[in-house]
A = this chain, B = another copy of it.
Amino acid sequence: MDSPTPPAATRHIRLTSHPGQGTDSAPALRWGAADPHERGPVVGSTGNRSQRNVIGTHSGSYGVYRALAVAAGNLTKGHRADLTNTAPTDAVGPYPVWGDAHKMVSIDPWGASVQTVYADYLERGYDIRPTIAVTKAHIHLPEIKQALAFQRLQVDGKILLEDASATVTKIAVEPVWWLPGVAERFKVSEADLRRALFEETGGMYPELVTRSDLEVFLPPIGGQTLYVFGDVRDLANPNVTLTARVHDECNGSDVFGSDICTCRPYLTHAIEECIRGAQAGGVGLIAYSRKEGRALGEVTKFLVYNARKRQVGGDRADKYFLRTECVAGVQDMRFQELMPDVLHWLGITKIHRLVSMSNDKFDAITGSGIEVGERVKIPDELIPADAKVEIEAKVAAGYFTDGRVPTADDLAQVKGRGLE
């Protein structure tokens, strides 16, 4: 079939691969400056090109939908957000670490407070968007209702309400990558990072390789959501007991309850621990990252499931990592290297109870200078039968356990269900 219309340009299109006219008005960014004015506002909106000082645009991958909205005529090109009444419900920071260009490389610490911090820029017509939003919510989870029924939790009227809902502050965070710092985190040169980001995405954003003057990249990927139980300010107080889980998205389990992994059971257990901790005068945190299927995406994840369950000998813990590596080329692409940034943004210096067995997460958190007290395992009774393959393979590979580390022989005995 032919194209309905030939893609002929009727208006001048300017490529972005090299600096052009009018960039005089783009605010300079001095990443790592403690003062937000010295640092400068991140301008990633597309309405006025001359104001932009980053590569990419806002809303992560949803920037593509915004582009569709403009194409379809639903959204006016250059729409300015009316930010009335949108300010954070809870203040976070500022903390000294916000000015540390080694610890804050993948989010904009001033992203929640652009309205106040950069009010003068906004008044002068700069289109500065929040990259962080802070609100309040009541959350109802069937697993928490069950914990109440079994009297593992009690209603206190503040953290956990009569209707079994928990009160939380929730915070959405979009990625804002300062490329020199991201490169440093991965121990590669900035040039190599930029080149890989360009080449391995099939050529996304040529400015990555042509505009070394633009150091900040808003990547089209999912961000993070933080759920805080108790007072957000207490997160920064090492004397208040912090219970925290850093959780990576797994739609199949988190939403649909697939029994091949422990994701939702571990998450809801962590929420229960967070509520219990907050009720005891502490504070709780779930940091949820959009990294589906170890950031391999769900198509790859399902391909791996099939390869695991069909291999000779069936789905076995001793072949668990190998199958992912055959299909994807790596065991995992989640890169916990950037994850601690959001913890530092919250002012966290100590996690008293880390509800995670992942050594990658533990190493990244402690490596970034945050102290970790106890590590909390998922209770055995919450591990679905078919998920034993995963959890045993991970424990053998270095996941935290207070029990016995399985041997190679043990792993060969741990088998999952076939494809029926």
B75 and A330 contact, CB distance less than 8 A: yes
B329 and A79 contact, CB distance less than 8 A: yes
Q: Does A59 touch B at the CB level, under 8 Å?
A: yes
Task: Please name the residue on chain B nearest to A73 by beta carbon.
Answer: B188
Contact partners of A130 in chain B: CB under 8 A: 299, 303
Q: Does A70 touch B at the CB level, under 8 Å?
A: yes
Q: Roughly how many angstroms separate A311 CA and B85 CA in the complex, as a whole number?
A: 7
A75 and B329 contact, CB distance less than 8 A: yes
Stretch of A8-16, A370-378, A407-415 that contacts chain B: A8-16
User: Could you write out 9 A-B pairs with CB less than 8 Å apart?
Assistant: A3-B183, A84-B326, A87-B306, A89-B419, A137-B305, A142-B143, A167-B420, A220-B221, A222-B222
Q: Do A191 and B7 form a contact, CB below 8 Å, given A86-B327, A201-B57? A: yes
How far in angstroms is the closest Cβ of chain B from A383?
A: 12
A65 and B295 contact, CB distance less than 8 A: yes
How far in angstroms is the closest Cβ of chain B from A338?
A: 9
Q: Does A98 touch B at the CB level, under 8 Å?
A: no
Contact partners of A307 in chain B: CB under 8 A: 84-86
Q: Roughly how many angstroms separate A61 CA and B290 CA in the complex, as a whole number?
A: 10
Chain A, residues 20-35, CB within 8 Å of chain B (1/0): the string is: 0000000000011000
Q: Does A209 touch B at the CB level, under 8 Å?
A: yes
Task: Please name the residue on chain B nearest to A218 by beta carbon.
Answer: B202
Q: Roughly how many angstroms separate A305 CA and B52 CA in the complex, as a whole number?
A: 27
